Amino acid sequence: MIKLRPIKSDEKVAVAIPTRNRPSYLAVLLASLLHQTYTNFMIVINDQSDSPVERDDTLADLFALAKNTGPEIKIIRTEGGWKRHQQAMEAVPEPIEFILRIDDDVLPNAGFLEHMLKPFHYFPDRPLAAVGGCNPEPKMKPLNLDVNLADGSWMSTFEDPTWRLQGHHYYNDPEVLEVESINGCAICYRRGAVVDAGGWAVEGYSDHAFREESDLCARLVEKNYTLMVTTEALAWHLLAPGGGAREFIKTPRGNFLISDMSCIEADNRLFRERMKAILEKRDPAAGEPRRYKISALEKNVCKGSPLRTLKGRALKAIESGVLRKFRGLYWYFTK
């Protein structure tokens, strides 16, 4: 692990966007970036579309607007395969240390960048390598964080990177959580830590990139870096049905993946093999993750608490009991 410098108050950030054949979603993302409360950033678009993004009228207008009023935009093109992620990140100018990698079908709120950078300021002496936010689908409503953390399967762990905490929900509770893996559609990384952990991508993953981000998070944890999630940073995951690396069907009951699963299963097998090798060398005495209230962090109080609280467990037990009772009544009146 290398020594990481503290983040500057006016730190310049790069926003790296991979995109492929979905210009309307990219336009929504760009429009939201042009209205961020944090303005010291540049944009790097890794375009793998069949027709260059500059040929789309809406995007051309947004590029012109950014040139006159907003951030610098740099467009590169890479071939498919695992190397594209590495090449896209290497296209970010060398002095920039903080890189937000965000999917083209994500809609961040106006304060997203500002909120994503806050944990780096809150914990200047921690080896914090990456921060994620919450990425709910549009139909979701806020949940109680205490109740959901009472379910141990809600947290994403080193060897079992689940999307439950970040990927489909958001919360009323403004907190920062220590995690072992971060949902891949919007993560702010430190370049130095990523390079120290072996780079942005490793050979073997398919174009679906099903576990590339989980792999990178695992390599960072293996190097004793810290990962965090802030519930204050909110970016809606719109889940474009076409384009990109995966295909979905959008229905009233949710979005269903219809891509060829063989590549995804191959990515998952590769990830499991790599995790087995890493786990054999991992220190079993690693401390339990903790959570921090942002209201306390704003007052420079960095005393954390366990992820699972007595209040959360009690509320979870009450919720489970009510659900069981409702199911019983439903069965009784419909039998």
199 burial via Cβ count (<10 Å: 0-12, 13-18, 19+): middle
* pLDDT tens-digit map of 267-318: 888 888 888 888 887 766 667 889 999 999 999 998 889 887 766 678 777 7
Residue 26 carries which side chain, given as an amino acid letter? L
How many Å apart are CA 335 and CA 288, to the nearest integer? 47
* pLDDT tens-digit map of 66-110: 999 889 999 999 876 677 778 888 899 989 999 999 999 999 999
How many Å apart are CA 198 and CA 28, to the nearest integer? 33
Comparison of pLDDT for 247 and 199, the residue scoring more: 199
Under 8 Å between Cβ of 240 and 29? no
Beta bridge partners of 229: 132, 177
Least confident piece of the model among 6-20, 65-79, 243-257: 243-257
* In the chain, domain spans: 13-334
Strands 175-179 and 226-237: antiparallel
- H-helix or E-strand spanning residue 291: strand 290-293
String of b and e for 133-172 (b: at least 16 CB within 10 Å)?
bbbbeeeeeebbbbbbbbeeebbbebeebeeebbbbbbbe
Q: How confident is the model at residue 253 (pLDDT cuts 50, 70, 90)?
A: low
Instruction: For the chain, give the mean pLDDT.
Output: 86
233 SS3 class: strand
Under 8 Å between Cβ of 43 and 33? yes
Under 8 Å between Cβ of 228 and 177? yes
Q: 257: number of CA atoms within 13 Å, CB side?
A: 11
Q: Looking at domain 13-334, what is its CATH homologous superfamily? A: Spore Coat Polysaccharide Biosynthesis Protein SpsA; Chain A (3.90.550.10)
Helices in 212-309 by DSSP H: which ranges? 212-222, 261-281, 294-297
Cβ neighbors of 194 (< 8 A, separation 6 or more) are 89, 129, 200, 216, 220
